[in-house]
Structure 1
Amino acid sequence: MLLDRGMVFMSDTRTNAGLDNISTFCKMSIWEEPGERVITLLSAGNLATTQAAVSLLNERMKAPEERAPSVMAAASMFQVAQIVADTLREVIALHDEAGQRADSAFHATLLLGGQIKGSAQRLFLIYPEGNFIEAAEDTPFFQIGEIKYGRPILVRAFDAGMSFEEAMRLLVVSFDSTIKANLTVGPPMDYQFVEVDACRTATRGRIEEDDPYFQTLSNGWGDALKHALDRLPVFDAQD
Structure 2
Amino acid sequence: MESHLQLASAGYPVISFGTGSLVRLPGPSVKEPNIFNFNRTSYDQMYNELFQKDPRLYRANGILPMLDRNRNVKWGPERWQDWKVGVPRMTEQQKHNRGAEGTEGGVVDIVITCEERCWDSVVDDLLNRGSPMNRPVHVFNVDIKDNHEDALVGGRAILDLAGKLNEAAVQEREKSGAEMWDSGGASRTGFDERVPYILADWQERWPHLPAIWTLAWF
**Same fold flag (TM > 0.5):** no
Q: Which has the higher helix share?
A: 2
What TM-score, normalized by structure 1, do the two folds share? 0.24
Greater relative CO, 1 or 2 (CA 8 Å, sep 6+)? 1
Q: Which has the larger radius of gyration?
A: 1
What TM-score, normalized by structure 2, do the two folds share? 0.26
